[in-house]
């Protein structure tokens, strides 16, 4: 499959108002891509779109959509097809997390997370798949997580969604590769986005324990600039890499899980205690 070129290609990005999605938007604008940006944050979306236009984005469209509300997104896909001829690159990037243990988690919150992290990925892919198949050299990116490679306590719902995204993407890649559509699954680890700070709390948090833990995780574990993650993702798209694990720590964790699939968490905790 030929290398992906960005100039003049229509790129659809979910979660574009911040974090990796915003960084991807600005990197693609520099490459003169046609941009279709999706997020529920109208103010943030406008800000990112304006920056993209200043950087040379050939055409920038924004759609304020709350992916937690479901829907098949066929109207959006039809509008992109009618106005722009169809999508060449779809990046399913939007994601949320939920604090607390599975025992603490409410089913309504788990359903909310799964709708955004998993079902929206499936729904968006289904909606835009005819366009990707019709556009020679198109590409699909689904953003999983380090927690789609390892599953820590306190992240049951999130890990469930991200492991599912990984399996969905890998199986879909095997279907689409013979038809000329590139597919990449991305496993970011420790990228400095607002996902931890914006985590939904599991019920009441009267002493602020959950919120404090979210802040600690944001400050100590999320260190890689999203701009660097975006550059790595676009390089993976360009070269048609099927799988991208971002940060050396994530790659080490991935290797450990492969070597010790039933014992990696115990070993990783021992290593962490030794280092501290």
- Residues labelled catalytic: 158
Question: Are 89 and 141 contacting, i.e. CB atoms less than 8 angstroms apart?
Answer: yes
Residues 47 and 222: their CA atoms lie apart, in Å, by 23
Residues 221 and 213: their CA atoms lie apart, in Å, by 11
Instruction: Give 9's Cβ-side CA count (13 Å radius).
Output: 23
- What are 50's two structure tokens? 């304006």
E strands of 174-242, at which residues? 182-188
Cα three-residue angle 186-260-144, rounded to 5 degrees = 15
Closest CA to 89 of 3, 149, 17, 164: 3
Residues 172 and 167: their CA atoms lie apart, in Å, by 8
E strands of the chain, at which residues? 10-14, 34-39, 59-64, 89-92, 139-143, 182-188, 243-246
Q: Which residues contact 250 (CB under 8 A, 6 or more apart)?
A: 146, 149, 187, 188, 189, 190
Give Dmax over CA atoms of the chain in angstroms.
58
Residue 126 C-alpha from the chain's centroid: 17
Residue 12 phi, psi dihedral angles, 5° rounding: -105, 125
- What are 206's two structure tokens? 């009267």
């Amino acid at each position: 499959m030929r290398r992906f070129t960005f100039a003049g290609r229509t790129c659809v990005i979910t979660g574009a108002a911040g974090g990796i999605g915003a960084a991807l938007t600005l990197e693609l604008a520099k490459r003169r891509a046609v941009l279709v940006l999706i997020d529920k944050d109208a103010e943030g979306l406008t800000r990112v779109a304006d920056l993209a236009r200043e950087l040379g984005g050939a055409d920038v469209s924004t759609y304020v959509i709350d992916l937690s509300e479901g829907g098949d997104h066929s109207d959006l896909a039809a509008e992109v097809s009618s106005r722009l001829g169809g999508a060449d690159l779809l990046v399913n990037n939007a994601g949320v997390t939920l604090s607390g243990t599975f025992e603490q988690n409410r089913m309504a919150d788990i359903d909310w997370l799964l709708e955004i992290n998993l079902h929206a990925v499936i729904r968006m892919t289904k909606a835009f798949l005819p366009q990707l198949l019709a556009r020679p050299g198109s590409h699909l990116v689904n953003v999983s997580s380090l927690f789609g490679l390892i599953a820590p306590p306190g992240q049951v719902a999130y890990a469930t969604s991200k492991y599912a995204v990984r399996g969905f993407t890998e199986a879909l890649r095997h279907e689409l590769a013979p038809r000329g559509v590139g597919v990449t699954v991305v496993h970011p680890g420790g990228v400095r986005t607002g996902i931890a700070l914006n985590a939904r709390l599991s019920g009441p948090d009267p002493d602020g324990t959950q919120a404090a833990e979210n802040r600690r995780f944001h400050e100590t574990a999320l260190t890689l600039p999203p701009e660097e993650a975006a550059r790595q993702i676009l390089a993976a798209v360009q070269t048609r890499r099927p799988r991208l694990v971002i940060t050396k720590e994530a790659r080490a964790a991935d290797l450990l899980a492969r070597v010790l699939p039933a014992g990696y968490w115990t070993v990783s905790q021992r290593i962490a205690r030794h280092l501290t």
